[in-house]
Structure 1
């Protein structure tokens, strides 16, 4: 759980980064690289892809440091979203390359249809949510919009949206751990 000291440290670190302090980037790397690496392993399948995701995330942090606005004063959520977005871009590039190289009938990876069917129940669980919660899940968890973007689209505060996402994730987690699908 984030403490006030952690968020104060994040604000200070963000200011240092915005000022072009290279030591701040090293500090950010030391502090967040282990967590980002674990997260990247959930998004990518090879060591090379994981390393690339982590590097790209910190490069983005460095490049955007002077315009960075943290909605929660915590840097880690922003880094995780950036990492997820890089993973999606990486997956799109791989898929595009594969589809460009293969005939259309072979473009779908083997087992894709089976995987979609096995995960159909997750979509069914999302569909059973209240309409607003379902739309929030679609925007944040499926389409990859940031909480700030989704809140703006739906006319909610970031805090209200965060609470709704948290409740929906808890419900989905409960369904995953308690149901046999």
Structure 2
């Protein structure tokens, strides 16, 4: 599947969600829950919180489908922003429940901001990859596809995807070693 087919699928999925198609919600869950779960683990302290964030994010998708606009054509960035916003709300609720004062700036939980800063070089390195290598990293690392699934989506052999991921990892490792010295 190409990028344009992915965005066509996202638009079609969104249209089906907007008319209340429950099968579309199930399809959205199957497609996006693994990525949302990985992201939620980065911003939530417990398994229960992770599950709540994924459910809340998909519920928001269901409720707002008719009004969602996709400037990039892809639904995943919108879902990740919604998940992040739900994580902030969850943190606020937890702090209030514990009687702790809210931080002055709750724009991003401190652990999220620290993680984002520590991984900035990873995003920069992935952005610097050739377009095909960057897409393979997105499919395998961000969207959770297996190498064989990514290969099928891109019309490549699993061996080619494996080699490209290996090269990309070596590049990232080299960047880490250079950054540490």
* TM superposition score normalised by structure 1: 0.56
Q: Which residue of 2 aligns with 1:161?
A: none
Question: What residue ranges of structure 2 are gaps of 5+ in the alignment?
Answer: 104-109, 121-171
What aligned pairs does 1:33-52 form with structure 2 within 5 A after superposition? 33-52=33-52
Structure of higher RCO (CA pairs closer than 8 Å, 6+ residues apart):
2
1:2 to 1:81, Cα distance in 2 relative to 1, 3 A: farther
**Deviations for 1:135-165, whole angstroms, at most 9, x for unmatched residues?**
xxxxxxxxxxxxxxxxxxxxxxxxxxxxxxx
Q: Which residue of 1 aligns with 2:19?
A: 19
CA-atom RMSD in angstroms: 3.1
Q: Which residue of 2 aligns with 1:9?
A: 9
**Deviations for 1:7-38, whole angstroms, at most 9, x for unmatched residues?**
10000000101111111000000001011001
How many angstroms apart in 2 are the aligned matches of 1:33 and 1:93?
A: 23
Question: What residue ranges of structure 1 are gaps of 5+ in the alignment?
Answer: 109-114, 126-172
Q: Which residue of 2 aligns with 1:63?
A: 63
Aligned residue-pair number:
117
* TM superposition score normalised by structure 2: 0.56
How many angstroms apart in 2 are the aligned matches of 1:93 and 1:20?
A: 30
SS in 2 for 1:37: helix
How many angstroms apart in 1 are the aligned matches of 2:87 and 2:22?
A: 25
SS in 2 for 1:70: coil
